[in-house]
Structure 1
């Protein structure tokens, strides 16, 4: 899972609010600029100033329609910004005041498009600006601003790009570290409980939207693990947990996910797996626990496993309660077993239990 505040729902809501304010301020500024330019008889420049007031609010309304429209709307706003930058270069460089906008354009690209696309767009727009300015002296009767003033504006543009990139890079670095600390277990490398719940919610949402997309959850707990810590020490217990996590991660599918739920209890999320498929995977995982820890301690390490398929419409808490009950049913049956059921209304005490050796 790739960490990105750009996909965070709270960030998107805040960004939309800021865009509402920014577009309204941009429209007001453009209208004032157009009025001044009309008064000065600069009709061509005034006409290009009216592009944003005419198109900006329409794009703002469009990006509110859906998540897909939101993404496309940001690109449209970036195109509108690029159009404004190009028109300013072509028609507005007779006035040195217009140079102040060049330090703002790259910030808009970074804000609208994110760091990678924002950097590409900033340099593409810079190249167009320099090319347009270089062609202006060849236009009959056109007298652009002094090259020194233009060069200073381009320097300010590059500084704005560098500062924006540095800020986004540093924020991304610390965000990634925080994301890993919150969402991953430092001992085993598996997802943490917090990260597991977030991912499970995502899988549940996908399953609810698509009836043909099943979801199963496997819960397993290492049997008598307290005795491992008490007899051989916590270092040995940690080594066992790392070995189990490494062994499980090596055999599950790329789409599956291992979660350290707490202590010696783990979950395996199985998107796209029906109950019978999940049962087979659970039997395999029970064997992996034995083989991955075989040479670590004199005593064998086993696991009690519960398997449940998601029932469309139930809450995550209900699903986790069912699979947890099944895991304890496996323990009550004598441990080193897999408990599952085909009928969700069967009490956990009556769940089917498989303890065949692997």
Structure 2
């Protein structure tokens, strides 16, 4: 391709890949240990950067180092990227097929390099192998549960690279068998070499954007969630409650709030110790989170007291949810957690409760009535002077 030197792109991409590897190794060994796959991607960058440097030495070093090894390292790099994405997404590892493909490609590449020198066959072998490997990576990204711009960009970059590899493989079938690496000046070859350089840059940028997004979500989670239970912290829950109240009033949709208190929790701590008391709180919050819908929310209001937000829920439906929570709490799921019960107050969003403070106050008065009724009860607040409707 006139005016474009693919070799320059390869050298630049190799340098960039080395820089990306350094950044990812530093992040992976620091505060991002909860985000998996960084070390594998860094290793993939190093592997492909090494391949790029070796490609740049073509004509200076033996064919083992300028052709066979760098071609193989590119495939190994993509397999390592696949391992990184598998770890990042928490998928089950299924590497046997990829390693079989990699092994078959290595054998074919060795044959057409050292036994029967055939440039065209080498191109077909590597481009077809990379088509499969890049496609496998793209499919893995599209399987991620949470997909934003970063994931879509990276997935499409993998897919676009795969398409170029497939085009190179197709062109090689139609190519003159006497063409050599130093005489191959076709457009497809230039695009192929340029794509190798561009894909390493684009894919690494995409993965770093994915890591940045995951880091943002992690920090946001830590800022809004209770460390012990994983439910909303009090301030974060109250902010969410105010927002939901405003939306419910604007759209004229029902909404309800539950306030839940673990019965006789002080006795649990005195009899079994505070560590067991913590396990009771964790056990209860886990049970509630399994029962709630996607749009519902639970927050720790203080100590052994919890708030539950139920958007688009009438008071009758909220009572049913509360009673299921009460029944589930009484179930013993683990021998390490003693039996316990809860009392629940329910308050629907009505005109008499104009804001979160009055709504919570109404639910709290209903909770007090549930305690007074003998505990392990659910009580529903009515809208007149915070009167209590027994259930």
With over 3 angstroms needed to count, the CA separation of the structure-2 counterparts of 1:252 and 1:165, relative to structure 1, is closer
With over 3 angstroms needed to count, the CA separation of the structure-2 counterparts of 1:122 and 1:240, relative to structure 1, is closer
State the match for 1:272 in structure 2.
Answer: 312
Does the 8 Å contact 2:343/2:367 carry over to 1? yes
User: How far has the Cα of 1:264 moved from its partner?
Assistant: 0.7
CA distance in 2, matches of 1:285, 1:260: 15
2:152 to 105, 117, 132: 117
User: How far has the Cα of 1:178 moved from its partner?
Assistant: 1.8
Question: SS where residue 311 of structure 1 aligns?
Answer: coil
Does the 8 Å contact 2:232/2:299 carry over to 1? yes
State the match for 2:79 in structure 1.
Answer: none
Q: How does 1:24-63 map to 2 (within 5 A)?
A: none
1:166 to 204, 207, 212: 207
State the match for 1:325 in structure 2.
Answer: 365
The Cα offsets for residues 195-226 of structure 1, whole Å up to 9 and x where unpaired, read as: 53454345334423322x31111111112212
CA distance in 1, matches of 2:294, 2:158: 37
The Cα offsets for residues 334-356 of structure 1, whole Å up to 9 and x where unpaired, read as: 4333222232x323xx31233xx
User: How far has the Cα of 1:157 moved from its partner?
Assistant: 3.8
CA distance in 2, matches of 1:198, 1:156: 47
With over 3 angstroms needed to count, the CA separation of the structure-2 counterparts of 1:252 and 1:279, relative to structure 1, is same
CA distance in 1, matches of 2:328, 2:188: 71
Does the 8 Å contact 1:216/1:310 carry over to 2? yes
State the match for 1:353 in structure 2.
Answer: 390
CA distance in 1, matches of 2:368, 2:282: 23
Please give the root-mean-square deviation of Cα atoms over the aligned residues, in Å.
3.9
Q: How does 1:68-79 map to 2 (within 5 A)?
A: none
Question: SS where residue 229 of structure 2 aligns?
Answer: coil
With over 3 angstroms needed to count, the CA separation of the structure-2 counterparts of 1:247 and 1:154, relative to structure 1, is closer
CA distance in 1, matches of 2:156, 2:372: 62
Size of the alignment, in residue pairs? 227
CA distance in 1, matches of 2:315, 2:189: 72
CA distance in 2, matches of 1:293, 1:152: 59
Verify: 1:310 aligned to 2:349, yes or no. yes
CA distance in 2, matches of 1:271, 1:195: 16
The Cα offsets for residues 21-77 of structure 1, whole Å up to 9 and x where unpaired, read as: xxxxxxxxxxxxxxxxxxxxxxxxxxxxxxxxxxxxxxxxxxxxxxxxxxxxxxxxx
* Residues 218-227 or 330-339, more deviating: 330-339
CA distance in 2, matches of 1:264, 1:171: 35
CA distance in 2, matches of 1:287, 1:296: 19
Q: How does 1:134-173 map to 2 (within 5 A)?
A: 157-173=198-214
User: How far has the Cα of 1:301 moved from its partner?
Assistant: 2.3
Verify: 1:209 aligned to 2:253, yes or no. no
CA distance in 1, matches of 2:342, 2:372: 12
Does the 8 Å contact 1:243/1:292 carry over to 2? no
The Cα offsets for residues 227-267 of structure 1, whole Å up to 9 and x where unpaired, read as: 21122101211221222223333434454333332211112
User: How far has the Cα of 1:125 moved from its partner?
Assistant: 7.8
Does the 8 Å contact 1:307/1:326 carry over to 2? yes
With over 3 angstroms needed to count, the CA separation of the structure-2 counterparts of 1:254 and 1:115, relative to structure 1, is closer
State the match for 2:232 in structure 1.
Answer: 191
Question: SS where residue 231 of structure 2 aligns?
Answer: coil
Verify: 1:241 aligned to 2:252, yes or no. no
CA distance in 1, matches of 2:210, 2:292: 34
With over 3 angstroms needed to count, the CA separation of the structure-2 counterparts of 1:188 and 1:150, relative to structure 1, is closer
With over 3 angstroms needed to count, the CA separation of the structure-2 counterparts of 1:155 and 1:230, relative to structure 1, is same
CA distance in 2, matches of 1:252, 1:162: 38
Does the 8 Å contact 1:240/1:293 carry over to 2? no
CA distance in 1, matches of 2:194, 2:301: 55
TM-score, length-scaled by structure 2 = 0.47
